């Protein structure tokens, strides 16, 4: 299927590793022009030469705004913004969560998306096929035991997405959210190992329990997430807006 993304101008936040890197690679494979920011300089250095990159912490609003403008100038305009950056945040009972940790998680996972959307719209309004894709999580829909700041932020991403889809539809800017489930990779390994350790169980046990709540009992790969995103960004996805799309093997609960 030709996704007609040749020359598409795309910003992906946190594109140096993990899902973000897979999204960068998927857009490049379609002939798109890509800009990314990240805090991992080694990961940024490892990106293909043609990628516009800058070291930016998305929690630093002025730096993020400067990056959006610089990237749009470097790309010669902007057709798509992918707000991928997010952190897992603290794992703790509600009474043990520090306000600093709460605010940090909300800032990186949600407020940064508000900041970049608000700055990107003036650039996106010039595009004939504009879209925003915000990274949420099934945790936003299902809740996540002991991960309250993360789940709250990711639920907020869905509200941000749906509201912006209504507001920006008349400007021909589509806005969708992707909700990954259990994604293979380093982050999932860290989460499962921390959980296994805290509960005195084996990692295999914790993993089997996690999959017992899914209809399709396998990890989603970063590349499968990226496939959904390039499709949504393409003209083939032009009637899809305001959706919160789960890519999670029908996961019904996060244990
Ligand atoms: P990850 O932890 O592997 O990190 C990806 C990148 O984010 C890294 O390159 C890191 O340097 C960068 N980064 C971290 N904090 C940053 C900041 N403040 N500013 C700029 N860059 C920063 O993450 P991932 O697993 O690839 O997840 C990507 C997105 O998908 C996140 O929004 C995450 O919440 C969401 N998600 C992931 C999973 C999963 O299982 N991996 C599941 C659901 C949702």
Q: What is the pLDDT of residues 117-163, one digit of tens each?
A: 999 999 999 999 999 999 999 999 999 999 999 999 999 999 999 99
In a domain, 177, yes or no: yes
- Return the CATH number at 152: 3.40.50.720
In a domain, 128, yes or no: yes
Give 43-91 pLDDT, tens digit per residue: 999 999 999 999 999 999 999 999 999 999 999 999 999 999 999 999 9
Q: Which domain holds residue 79?
A: 9-182+220-247
Instruction: For ligand 1, pick from 35, 63, 85, 157 the residue to mutate: most ligand atoms within 8 Å of CB.
Output: 85
Which H or E run contains 176?
Answer: strand 173-180
Nearest residue to 37 via CA among 62, 11, 61 = 11
User: 17 CA to middle of ligand 1, Å?
Assistant: 8
In a domain, 195, yes or no: no
- Cα 156 to Cα 163: distance, rounded to the nearest angstrom: 11
User: 131 CA to middle of ligand 1, Å?
Assistant: 21
- Measured in whole angstroms, the distance separating CA 111 from the mean position of its chain's CA atoms is 13
Q: Catalytic residue at 219?
A: no
CB 252 within 8 A of CB 181: no
Ligand 1: which residues within 6 Å by Cβ?
Answer: 14, 16-20, 38-40, 43, 57-59, 84-87, 108, 135, 137, 180, 182-183, 185-188
In a domain, 255, yes or no: no
Q: How many domains does the chain have?
A: 1
The mean per-residue pLDDT over the stretch 13-36 comes to: 98
Ligand 1 atom with least separation from CA of 16? 9
The pLDDT score that the predictor gives to residue 188 is 86
In a domain, 149, yes or no: yes
In a domain, 164, yes or no: yes
pLDDT band at 211 (very low <50, low <70, confident <90, very high): very high
In a domain, 253, yes or no: no
In a domain, 4, yes or no: no
Predicted TM-score (pTM) above 0.80: yes
CA distances to 13, 82, 158, 172 from 53, in Å? 10, 14, 27, 27
Instruction: For ligand 1, pick from 24, 86, 229 the residue to mutate: most ligand atoms within 8 Å of CB.
Output: 86
Q: Which of 52, 67, 150, 219 is catalytic?
A: 150
């Amino acid at each position: 299927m030709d996704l007609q993304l040749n020359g598409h101008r795309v910003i992906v936040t946190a594109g140096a590793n993990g899902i973000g890197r897979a999204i960068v690679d998927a857009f490049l494979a379609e002939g798109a022009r890509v800009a990314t920011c990240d805090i991992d300089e080694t990961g940024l250095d490892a990106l293909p030469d043609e990628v516009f990159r800058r070291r930016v912490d998305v929690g630093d609003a002025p730096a993020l705004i400067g990056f959006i403008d610089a990237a749009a100038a470097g790309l010669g305009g902007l057709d798509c913004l992918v707000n991928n950056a997010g952190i897992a945040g603290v794992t703790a009972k509600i009474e043990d969560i520090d306000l600093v940790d709460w605010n940090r998680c909300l800032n990186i996972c949600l407020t940064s998306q508000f900041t970049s959307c608000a700055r990107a719209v003036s650039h996106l309004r010039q595009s004939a096929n504009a879209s925003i894709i915000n990274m949420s999580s099934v945790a936003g829909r299902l809740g996540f035991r002991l991960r309250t700041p993360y789940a709250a932020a990711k639920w907020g991403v869905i509200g941000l997405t749906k509201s912006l889809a209504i507001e920006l539809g008349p400007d021909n800017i589509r806005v969708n959210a992707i909700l990954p489930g259990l994604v293979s990779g380093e982050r999932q390994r860290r989460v499962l190992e921390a959980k296994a350790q805290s509960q005195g169980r084996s990692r295999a046990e914790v993993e089997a329990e996690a999959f017992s709540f899914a209809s399709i009992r396998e990890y989603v790969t970063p590349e499968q997430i990226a496939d959904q995103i390039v499709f949504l960004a393409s003209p083939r996805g032009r009637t899809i807006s305001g959706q919160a799309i789960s890519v999670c093997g029908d996961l019904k609960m996060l244990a």
